[in-house]
Amino acid sequence: MSALKPFYWRGKSLEELSKTEWEALCDGCGKCCTYKLEDTETGELYQTNVCCKLLDTHACQCADYKNRKKYVSDCVQLKPENVLSFDWLPPTCAYVRVAKGKDLPKWHYLVCGDRQRIHEVGKSVQDKVLSEENAGPLDQHIIARFK
Query: Distance (Å, rounded) from C-alpha 54 to C-alpha 100?
Result: 29
Q: For 7-38, how does the pLDDT look when each residue is reduced to its tens digit (9 = 90+)? A: 999 999 999 999 999 999 999 999 999 999 99
In 30-133, the DSSP E strands lie at 34-38, 45-51, 55-56, 61-62, 130-131
Rounded to two decimals, what is the model's pTM?
0.90
Q: Which residues pair with 51 in a beta bridge?
A: 34, 131
